[in-house]
Structure 1
Amino acid sequence: MNNIISNRIFAFIFLTIVLLLLLWMPTWTKINVGDAPGVVYSPPWIGFLVILIGLAYEMFRPSLNLKRDTNWKWILAGVFLFLVILTMIVVQEIWMPYKQGYSVFGMKSFEFPLGSGNISVWPQLLWDFLNVHFTDTTVLALLFGILFLTMSTPQTSRGYKLILIGAVIFTAFLMLGHFSFLISGIDPTGGYYSRFTRMELLSQWWFQWDFWSEMVILVSALWLLFKGKKPAAIAN
């Protein structure tokens, strides 16, 4: 009974987080890209809808095994994703090495939507909170940073299988977009990448943590979907 309750609480918390992310992303896109509905409703976001379905399924049919997995490979994957989140918080909310005069208690002015000439002013703390904690990178890193550290496997959990399928859809599209820009210069982001040269993009902090967290999640999700977790690892 306790496992069922904890599973439902876990699923409900992340269902709420993902919904908040989906509500925030259109605003983020208007701030950073402009009015580009093709970016907000692009195919990768189908993956998050599948993740939502998986989390909702888990709420009604709990099947995750939230006991800790002691396999060092999954511990490494989970810890790496948590380190990505920690790095984002330190860099964007504490250090901010690339912005002179930055203060978390200051104000942030920006065009809304981008290119419109309309200026909005938000508290910097609110801006940082939304841009760090409600991004696809943070949400996925937190979700899978936890799940990879558990004994959950899609072979025994339909909800987890749907969550992993959604993650594969989302991260595969994003990785394809990264490589399409880096190799052929095709910008899949509606102009966000085009502000940088290829080398400039590679030097961006946010691109590095996006890229490597997505790579870890994609590879790990595919591994789990096709091979699952070994019985020996689950038994430990």
Structure 2
Amino acid sequence: MIDFLTEFAARLPGMRETLYYGTLDTLYMVLWATVFSVLFGLPLGVLLVTTERGGLTPAPWLKPVLGAVVNIGRSLPFIVLMVAVLSLTRLLTGTTLGPTAAIVPLSIGAVPFFARLVETAVREVDRGVVEAAHAMGTRKSAIVGKVLLPEALPGLVAALVMTVVTLVSYSAMAGAIGGGGLGDVAIREGYQRFDDYYLWATVILLVVIVQAAQTIGDLVIRRVSHR
């Protein structure tokens, strides 16, 4: 063990550049996939609640359709999803390789995941608060923006953190088909070249990214929970 750590420390300067750019690519993929997940997953999650029976805008025909779309998206293993949307990825980005291309399957995989978490967070809002706002004549659209989302904020932040952590693991899998990032470094430099030092370095960096995201998320949750 001591010998391994000594050799690892000696090899680290030579791996620094590769790990640095791999980390930047991972952060780039996760950041943009998170943005798209929020843009599409947040309204989808809210619709799953508001269109159900007894919701703000009941739509018996729409709720099952939205639920089916989300369930299908969540049921596909990510590695299968990446291959299934290769044509769409090429259409949108002009390529199927690299971090930018990987954002497409990452976003598609994360949107239904985040939407379900949003649905859970919004559903936990006290119905009495919503009914009180409705009784005061607040418009339904305003209830969503001024009551449901603010009241569900701690749960929404927790959902976002969980989505980011999931996207980090997804981004590592994206390296299997040329998505770049630390997953690509682990496969190309570690697995294919039988270099355990690269493998352990990528594992450590992925753990650090996840821990950083979780720590920041916990701080934000505590802050918004006592607002």
Query: Considering only CA atoms, is the larger Rg found in Structure 1 or Structure 2?
Result: 2
Q: Which has the higher helix share?
A: 2
- Do both share a fold (TM > 0.5)? no
TM-score, normalised on structure 2? 0.28
TM-score, normalised on structure 1? 0.27
Q: Which has the higher strand share?
A: 1
